[in-house]
Amino acid sequence: MLSRIALSASMLALAVAAPAVMAETPTYAENFRLTDQNRFAHDLFHYKDAPAVVLMSTTMDSDAAAKSMKAMAELQAKYEAKGVKFYLINPSQSETRADVRAKMADLDLADMTVLMDESQLVSESLSFDTTGEVLVLSPAKGYKVLYSGPVGADTAKVISALVAGEAPEPKMIDAVGGDKIELLHSDAGKFENISYSKDVAPILVEKCGACHAEGGIAPWEINSYEKVMGFAPMIREVIRTDRMPPYFPDPHIGEFENDDELTLEEQRTIVHWIEAGAPRGEGEDPLATADLTIEDWPLGEPDYIVNVTPFTLPTTGLLDYEYPVIENELTEGKWIKATHVRPGSMQGVHHVTSGYIQNYNKSDELESDSIEGRLPGGSVGSYTPGQNPQTFPEGVGTYLSPDGAYRFSMHYTTFGKEETDRTQVGLYFHDEAPDYIMRSSVIGDSNFEIPAGEDNYYVKSYLKFPADAEIYVLYPHAHYRGKHVELTMLKPDGSEEILISLPRYDFNWQRDYNPVEPIQVPAGSKLVAEWWYDNSENNWANPDFTANVLPGDQTHEEMMYFRVNYRWLDETPENVTTHTEEMMKDRLFASLDDSLDEKVQKAEVIGRRNTWLAEGFDKYDTDGDGELTRVEFAAAQKDRPRRNMRAGVNEFGDIEEGAGEEKKDKEADMTSLETESQAGLQ
């Protein structure tokens, strides 16, 4: 478990002090992260410049709560425009987000934000035990509680004073008239019965040991009670802010194989143990004997190892991407069933993506009707912080021709020390040719410019699947401004299904998410990716909130990117289809069609790269209906300006099939998107 902020001495003492449950109103509110009824995450400390933050306890099942929420809404209407933030906190264990959305709509309060405190840890720490309890916090004073009590005139007075820049004296009033909130752990004394050896340590081994081991990516090892005790306040803080373990999908949407999130009960167990003083208790120390070694090759010794061209990182500076091409030394064709990328420099390698160039050294006279000549290339693995080995489903593979070549995209970041990276990629092969071909495509959009200071910029794009498919991997990617992402399938029958939602995207931890059951995609479905970006000063990771941000490879720029790995149900090695090529030809059109109506309206033509299309829109709109059909859009492409691109890399940053064939074409045409995207990310 890794904290990205240092805790002060007072915070350290507070975190291991007596539990807050059933205690007096806290003097200060500690940071937390909760997800609202609309699947967006909120950090208490995000709005550090707000004049005030107002929190109120609520549930959806009582008239008293409804009355308090309406009074809170009146305050929000008066003060929200002055920068005050208002949050309702719902610790109910029986009310779903759908219940909350329905109730708030019935009350005409849909604009209010209800944070779902499913673990109840936040409500415990704020000493909420009835609905309608209000806390007014002053971010300028370290989130000091300046008011506690029912919502009313006294609440408004404190808020008004804070908005005016005044420093009112704290005012605490008993909240009366609310309904009792049922907390699972209302008896703080029970915390002392939590066993370190039986209850806490096993969770740490299972959920944290993969990173917090010798040679792991984490900066410290979970190898003893003493070590955990020393980091106890930090552990409590990263659990309450949902930063660790680094697994971020909404638990109510989809089910994924690589889910290593703490359960609600595990969260409560660890936090309550720490709040009870982190007692050692009886029994052996499971951490002292746990096998937490990091294996070089978790899947076993690879069948073949690709040694990526060594690269020496300088001590400082912004580095362009490296694109080494390495010819395949195998003398016969192979089918990949799994890959594992081992960075040579754990600090210097930001990420690795790859593509395979089929028949790199073969002549143009290669028989076009041969199976080998028609098989698509594919990714041979990718790496991002926190990424695990990548295994394919049974019976699915990517083909490597004996005369092909590997092409890698290497993103390096300097870290104050010169170091030579020698990344290796382990490949694992099928014994026999699989039944199906793994495909990889990216939903992307490069038609945006995020204004300086904008904290909720929205970008949408889609891919339309021309044939039945099933999806094995979902992989979202953006840079430091990316804050929230969702992927939704719109089916031809008009129904829709949210496939994954990350309430809070974290650029530092990017992973493949593999559905437990492959996602079935009917022909004609649209996979719609939606991204929200925070380019404001409150985004602590923002490299420059004064800049208008354009699409680009470097991390100070932005990307709208969502990769899916899948197979076509009717495609086999003996029957290679053109479905992917057909789908990818449509991607530029889809990136503009934000209304999802199969047409591009003039208002949808945005971004500097589309100035030519906006200026000539009326000319390309041959039927004069104010919209471009796919046919009209395709005809307009003859006027699309050429841009000098890296060979084999398109405008979405994808390594494409055939990438690296510089000997044939050293300039990639921006309009040439017919080939399949093979990249893991950029």
* Chain segment 639-651, per-residue pLDDT in tens: 998 765 454 455 5
The CA distance from 498 to 486, in Å, is 7
Q: Where do the domains of the chain lie?
A: 22-172, 188-289, 304-437, 439-571
Tokens of 3: 């904290």
pLDDT single digits (tens) 490-502: 999 999 999 999 9
pLDDT single digits (tens) 29-60: 999 999 999 999 999 999 999 999 999 999 99
pLDDT single digits (tens) 172-227: 998 888 999 988 876 666 677 899 999 999 999 999 998 898 878 888 999 999 99
Report the chain's mean pLDDT, rounded to a whole number. 88
**Burial letters 218-246, b for 16+ CB under 10 A, else e:** beebbbebeebbebbbbbbbbbbbbbbbb
Listing from the earlier edge strand, what are the strands of the sheet with 469-477? 439-445, 560-568, 469-477, 519-521
Question: What fold, for 22-172?
Answer: Glutaredoxin (3.40.30)
Q: Is 304-437 in the same CATH topology as 22-172?
A: no
The amino acid occupying position 141 is K
Q: Are 384 and 423 in contact (CB under 8 A)?
A: no
Q: Are 360 and 403 in contact (CB under 8 A)?
A: yes
Question: What fold, for 439-571?
Answer: Jelly Rolls (2.60.120)
Among the listed ranges 1-5, 252-256, 513-517, 581-585, which one has the minimum average pLDDT value? 1-5
The CA distance from 524 to 489, in Å, is 10
The CA distance from 584 to 589, in Å, is 10
User: Sign of the CA dihedral 327, 329, 331, 335?
Assistant: negative
Name the region of 569 (left: φ>0; alpha: ψ -120 to 50; beta: rest): alpha
The pLDDT of residue 360 is: 83
pLDDT at 669 over 70: no
Q: What is the dihedral of CA 502, 505, 507, 509, to 10 degrees?
A: -50
pLDDT at 678 over 60: no
Question: What fold, for 304-437?
Answer: Jelly Rolls (2.60.120)
> 469-477 and 560-568: which strand pairing?
antiparallel
Report if pTM > 0.75: yes
pLDDT single digits (tens) 501-550: 999 999 888 889 999 999 999 999 999 999 999 999 999 999 999 999 99
Q: What is the dihedral of CA 626, 628, 631, 635, to 10 degrees?
A: 100
Q: Are 440 and 563 in contact (CB under 8 A)?
A: yes
The pLDDT of residue 189 is: 65
